[in-house]
Amino acid sequence: MSKQITIDDLNIFYGDFRAVEGVSMRIEPRTVTAFIGPSGCGKSTVLRTLNRMHEVIPGAHVKGSVKMDGQDIYAAGVDSVNVRREVGMVFQRANPFPTMSIKENVLAGVRLNSQRLGRSEADDIAEQALKGANLWNEVKDRLGLPGSGLSGGQQQRLCIARAIAVKPSVLLMDEPCSALDPISTLAIEDLINDLKEEFTVVIVTHNMQQAARVSDRTAFFNIAGTGKPGHLIEYKDTETIFSRPDKEETQNYISGRFG
Amino acid sequence: MATEAPARPESHTAQRAVVRPGDRIFSLASLGAGILIVVILAGVALFLLAQSTDVIKASFEDPTQITGGKGFFAYVWPLILGTLVSAAIALLVATPFALGIALFTTHMAPRRLAPVLGYVIDLLAAIPSVVYGLWGLALAGHLTPAYQWLSSVLGWTGIFAPGADGVVSQTGRTILTASLVLSIMVLPIITSLVREVFLQTPRLQEEAALAMGATRWEMIRMAVLPHGKSGITSAVMLGLGRALGETMAVAMILSSGGLTLSLLVGGNQTIASEIAQNFPEAAGLRLSELISIGLVLFVITLLVNMGARAIVAKTSVKGS
């Protein structure tokens, strides 16, 4: 299921503006990789190129290659819609569809992929996904109620359930806990730990403790100044990054010293 | 707050909040504006009611006095039907177009084209209704071949049946033509309102759908349309309000004649066109009659608006 991601000399542009320059890295299957760095350094941008979501912004394009198990997702003839079915995404703010029930939210992606879905089959998929997102016990008695009635942390786990229901190979998370309280954050972090059994997980976070807690590998991005492109500074095992980084820039950032 | 109210005897200041003159003036002004609207509405209603009493009385005492000779109700119901039918056809034609145009300009069109297209649609609203009437008259003649064909294919349904002489109206001045012109007149209202609603679709919802691998159309069905449901309803209802009350264009297009089932022959009046066509020569009881059908139109539009509110309140989406 889980896939390896190889990024080779990736440059990301918004129109003429180069937002990210020369990123190369390899993300192994069944690992959690954290992207850290100051705001505007391009870590979210890089994340969004992994499922071609940056293309939602008009004028955005890339140079270089992103390969999933050797297949270039930017090759001619590759449909971004198919890429996104393979690479799930969870956003900064929980965004369940407000008009759908909890169960329908979970099944939304599945219904896109296979239009006809038997009732018991649908029930099974929803249960599996909700169990996978550690939400089943909290919502099993109210699957028919709207998803917007859940708490923030539950909504975020509902979005994770929705993303994993389609059985993607990669799961991208863009600051999934930044709007949550510590207890909900803990629940999501535990979940991320479970998720890496099945998926390649890439998470963007501003919280360095979180990166240290959940990830196997950490990539530090930085930006030379406003208007300059972001760079990948260092990409190593999480333990190494946080204990003895190679670069002074990394050391400064993780210890809270800037400039 | 940096500034403090000047010291006053403690017994007063402790209990009463400070009222600033600006707040006071503003709240009175807005209260006045609110009351004025209610007063005007009540004034219009009272005027219509007072003027209609003669007709209602006459209708009970001696129905032959009323136009048509069978009392007020017999006089007014064909007009109500004509009004509702023409408005319904106009909406039926305009709504799918409006939704399509709004979706195209907000989610499909190339970025340079979209604002231009939106502007052109808004310009349609700026065309005076007399001009629409003239245009409708010019259009009417060209529609007759299409009507002829329609009656030969769907004549058996009754609503597209040819006239007694076996042919459809040769001038094309029928209620169907009027409805089609109406649909173009309500198109800009519905389109621009729906466009606003679609533009406000939360980006998060759209991205949620896209990130699951939804195509653009699937994204629209999952995120944009559910979000816009109540907005679409209220836009259509506002369009209905305009279609019900539109007078000039309809009065110019329709030829005189009573209610007929077929949409393709002359006749079929709306309340507004009946008033506009007869008002200049009306006096006495006839004038009062026209005012009272105005009251009927007023009540219908009021009900439509109330209905629209109720639907919007029921269907609006909670949460982001």
Q: What percent of chain B has pLDDT over 90?
A: 23
Give the pLDDT score at B154: 81
pTM of the predicted structure, to 2 decimals: 0.79
Considering only CB atoms, A51 lies closest to which of B204, B211, B227, namely B211
Give the pLDDT score at A89: 93
**Is the CB of residue B86 less than 8 Å from the CB of residue B178?**
yes
The answer, yes or no, to whether residue B320 has pLDDT greater than 50, is: no
Considering only CB atoms, B212 lies closest to which of A93, A146, A166, namely A166
* Residue B211 belongs to domain spanning: 23-315
The enclosing domain of B60 has a CATH number of 1.10.3720.10
Q: Give how many domains chain B has, as a whole number.
A: 1
Query: Distance of CA B31 to CAs B19, B20, B35, B43, B111, Å?
Result: 17, 17, 6, 18, 43
Q: Do B223 and A97 touch (CB under 8 A)?
A: yes
The answer, yes or no, to whether residue B198 has pLDDT greater than 60, is: yes
- pLDDT category, B73, cuts 50, 70, 90? confident
Query: Distance of CA B33 to CAs A9, A17, B21, B39, Å?
Result: 64, 51, 18, 10
Contacts of A100 in chain B (CB under 8 A): 226
The residues on B that touch A, with CB distances below 8 Å, are 111, 202, 204-215, 218, 222-223, 226-227, 229, 317-320
More confident residue, B183 or B64: B183
- pLDDT category, B273, cuts 50, 70, 90? confident
More confident residue, A54 or B166: A54
User: Which parts of chain A register pLDDT below 70?
Assistant: 1, 114-115, 258-259
Contacts of A47 in chain B (CB under 8 A): none
Residue A258 burial class via C-beta count within 10 angstroms: exposed 0-12, middle 13-18, buried 19 and up: exposed
In a domain, B280, yes or no: yes
User: What SS3 string covers chain B?
Assistant: CCCCCCCCCHHHHCCCCCCCHHHHHHHHHHHHHHHHHHHHHHHHHHHHHHHHHHHHHHHHHCHHHCCCCCCHHHHHHHHHHHHHHHHHHHHHHHHHHHHHHHHHHHHHCCCCHHHHHHHHHHHHHHCCHHHHHHHHHHHHHHHHHHHHHHHHHHHHHCCCCCCCCCCCCCCCCCHHHHHHHHHHHHHHHHHHHHHHHHHCCCHHHHHHHHHCCCCHHHHHHHHHHHHHHHHHHHHHHHHHHHHHHCCHHHHHHCCCCCCCCCCCCCCCCCHHHHHHHHHHHCCHHHHHHHHHHHHHHHHHHHHHHHHHHHHHHHHCCCCC
Contacts of A86 in chain B (CB under 8 A): 213
In a domain, B5, yes or no: no
Q: Bin A256: left if φ > 0, else alpha if -120 < ψ < 50, else beta.
A: left
Beta strand A200-204 with A32-36 is parallel
Considering only CB atoms, A99 lies closest to which of B111, B204, B226, namely B226
Q: Which two tokens stand for residue B92?
A: 């039926």
Q: Do A98 and B223 touch (CB under 8 A)?
A: no
The answer, yes or no, to whether residue B12 has pLDDT greater than 70, is: no
Considering only CB atoms, B205 lies closest to which of A84, A89, A95, namely A95
- What does the DSSP assignment read for A177-190? TTTS-HHHHHHHHH
- pLDDT category, B4, cuts 50, 70, 90? low
Give the pLDDT score at B279: 86
Give the pLDDT score at B319: 44
Q: How far is A241 from chain B (nearest CA, A)?
A: 31
Contacts of B317 in chain A (CB under 8 A): 98-99
Q: Do B208 and A95 touch (CB under 8 A)?
A: yes
Residue A43 host element (H or E) = helix A43-49
Q: What is the pLDDT of residues B16-49, one digit of tens each?
A: 778 889 999 999 999 999 999 999 999 999 999 9
Q: Do B212 and A85 touch (CB under 8 A)?
A: yes
Q: Do A162 and B212 touch (CB under 8 A)?
A: yes
Q: What is the pLDDT of residues A163-196, one digit of tens each?
A: 989 888 999 999 998 888 888 888 889 989 988 8
Q: Which of A24-33, B6-15, B274-283 has the lowest mean pLDDT?
A: B6-15
- Give the separation between CA B107 and CA B97, rounded to whole angstroms: 15
List the domain boundaries for chain A: 5-100+169-254
Report how many Cβ contacts below 8 Å link chain A to chain B.
75
Q: Which CATH superfamily is domain A5-100+169-254 in?
A: P-loop containing nucleotide triphosphate hydrolases (3.40.50.300)
Contacts of A58 in chain B (CB under 8 A): 111
Dihedral (Cα; B308, B309, B315, B320), 10-degree rounding: 130
Q: What is the pLDDT of residues B222-245, one digit of tens each?
A: 899 988 888 898 899 889 988 988
In a domain, B6, yes or no: no
Considering only CB atoms, B222 lies closest to which of A84, A91, A108, namely A108
Give the pLDDT score at B113: 87
Q: How far is A243 from chain B (nearest CA, A)?
A: 35
Q: Do A89 and B205 touch (CB under 8 A)?
A: no
* Of the candidates A55, A68, A53, A47, the residue with the CA atom closest to the CA atom of residue A13: A55
ipTM of the complex: 0.86
Average pLDDT over residues B113-136: 87
State the sign of the Cα–Cα–Cα–Cα dihedral B190, B196, B199, B204.
negative
The answer, yes or no, to whether residue B162 has pLDDT greater than 80, is: no
The answer, yes or no, to whether residue B15 has pLDDT greater than 60, is: yes
